[in-house]
Amino acid sequence: MLDINFIRENLSKIKENIKRRGEKYNSLIVDSLLQIDKEWRELKGKVDLLRHGRNEITLQITKLSKEKKDISKLIEKAKALPQEIKNSEEKLEELKKKINSILMNLPNLLHDSVPYGKDDAENKVVKSFGKKPKFKFNLLSHVDLIEKNKWVDLDRASKISGARWYFLKGELALLEQALVRYGIDFMTKKKFTLVIPPHMINRKAYEGVTDLEAFGEMLYKIEGEDLHMIATSEHPITAMYMGEVLDAKELPIKIVGYSTNFRKEAGAHGKDMKGIFRVHQFNKVEQLIFCKPEHSWKLHEELAKNSIEFFKTLGLYFRQVNVCTGDIGIVAAKKYDLEVWYPVQDAFREVVSCSNCTSYQAVRLGIKYNEDGENNYIHTLNSTLIATSRALVAILENYQQKDGSVVVPKVLRKYMNGIKIIGKFDNKNNRKKK
């Protein structure tokens, strides 16, 4: 959400930004926003005046009653006030709601370096890393690999839970845990603090971090409770500081979040139906930073660098893209995606999303920092380090061997008790010798 004061002072900038984002948004909405805001402020003045009148008269009543004088006339006069005030307050509230709903849908100001483009096809490749792998045999899809090796049981999961749910089994489940532990170690070595958040949060917190109306179809709601399953650890961890004023000395706060994530994937009918590429539940290690505005652009690059470095160590072929205006969404001011090469799908697919949200989330959540007696909104940043289901698919596709086994990336072996290869043929060199 943008700060209304900021909009008032930077009208042309805001409109330009909306135009740059294309047809999805209409810059005229800003004019009507300011018009309603003006009405609101005028009415606020009137309501405050009415309230002042009430305060005055009750003060007099208090005074007179202490002097034991007759107050019946004053009370008679005062009786009309509450209704009058209430009527105006209701109008005021209505206007405020209108203002808020417009503000909620206004997109963040984009950074100058965000490329113009209609959709994800026009994201700009920044750089590629690693080498495109070559194979001298016919590749199996990850769906075939998990089936042959009995690493995932989709049938039984569908029996008890439904489509897009899965049992992760045996060596692949170990590999999943290895990825998580490696990811967490990787970040804590960089002085990020590990945080494991609640996996369910209430409505108020969720409204702070995302547009519940739009995201409603992504989130699982607990029946009869004011609770939603989290779609990413970013949500509870960002909402954690809701309504707080942080000390500038504590900033930047660097957190590595870990949680299981739950997503309905309601809008994805038919997409990626097979295997575990797109599922209702997966684990994710996430980087988060809360910082002063003047540091956020440098830290954004740092987050991207961390994720790049991490994927390099996994030995995958991938590229960094600068997400274009048509694909970036309303929250981020700039977003890098990392896309890994999936040889079977013959495509790059998104595995990391690294955003500088500037003050957009902070305004909505009311997170400020205090420096020299002055309060200002902080900046929030987040970046995937690793999301397990997609990373597992990437490893399966890229590290598979002719016999259907899969080589474990070197950096993960120490988290796998030294196992070098997982797969149906038990390799004698595969176990760590004691």
Partner RNA sequence: GCCGAUGUCGCCUAAUUUGGUUGGGCAAUAGUCUCGAAAACUAUAUCUGAAAAGAUCUACAGGUUCAAAUCCUGUCAUCGGCGCCA
Stretch touching RNA by CB under 7 A, among 52-60, 123-131, 133-141, 178-186: 52-60
Catalytic-role residue among 263, 302, 319, 359: 263
- Tell me whether residue 42 or residue 403 sits nearer to RNA (CB atom): 42
Amino acid at 384: T
- Residue 196 has, within 13 A of its CA and on its CB side, a CA count of 5
Query: Pairing mode, if any, of strands 228-229 and 200-201?
Result: antiparallel
- Tell me whether residue 250 or residue 372 sits nearer to RNA (CB atom): 372
Among 5, 12, 138, 429, indicate the residue that binds RNA (CB under 7 A): 5
Among 9, 28, 35, 82, indicate the residue that binds RNA (CB under 7 A): 82
Q: Is 225 a catalytic residue?
A: no
Among 15, 20, 44, 98, indicate the residue that binds RNA (CB under 7 A): 44
- Given a contact cutoff of 8 angstroms between Cβ atoms, the answer to whether 322 and 300 are in contact is no
Q: Is 8 a catalytic residue?
A: no
Judged by CB under 7 A, does residue 59 bind RNA?
yes
Question: 295 by DSSP, 3-state: which?
Answer: helix
Amino acid at 249: K
Q: Is 278 a catalytic residue?
A: yes
* Residue 239 main-chain phi, psi, to 5 deg: -70, -20
Judged by CB under 7 A, does residue 240 bind RNA?
no
Tell me how many helices (H) and strands (E) the chain has: 14, 17
- Tell me whether residue 70 or residue 372 sits nearer to RNA (CB atom): 372
Q: Please list, residue by residue across 346-362, b when 16 or more beta carbons sit within 10 angstroms of its beta carbon and e when fewer do.
A: eebbbbbbbbbbbbbbb
Q: How far is the CB of 4 from RNA (least distance, A)?
A: 6
* Nearest Cα residue to 252 out of 291, 199, 297, 307: 291
CA 265/CA 366 separation, integer angstroms: 29
Amino acid at 41: R
Stretch touching RNA by CB under 7 A, among 48-56, 179-187, 188-196, 250-258: 48-56
Query: Pairing mode, if any, of strands 193-195 and 253-262?
Result: parallel
Judged by CB under 7 A, does residue 81 bind RNA?
yes
Q: How far is the CB of 391 from RNA (least distance, A)?
A: 29
CA 120/CA 335 separation, integer angstroms: 12
Judged by CB under 7 A, does residue 347 bind RNA?
no
Judged by CB under 7 A, does residue 199 bind RNA?
no
Judged by CB under 7 A, does residue 87 bind RNA?
no
Amino acid at 150: K
Catalytic-role residue among 21, 171, 233, 278: 278
Which residues are known catalytic residues?
263, 278, 350, 353, 390
Binding site for RNA (CB under 7 A): 4-5, 41, 44-45, 47-49, 51-52, 54-55, 57-59, 61-62, 65-66, 75, 78-79, 81-82, 368, 372-373, 375
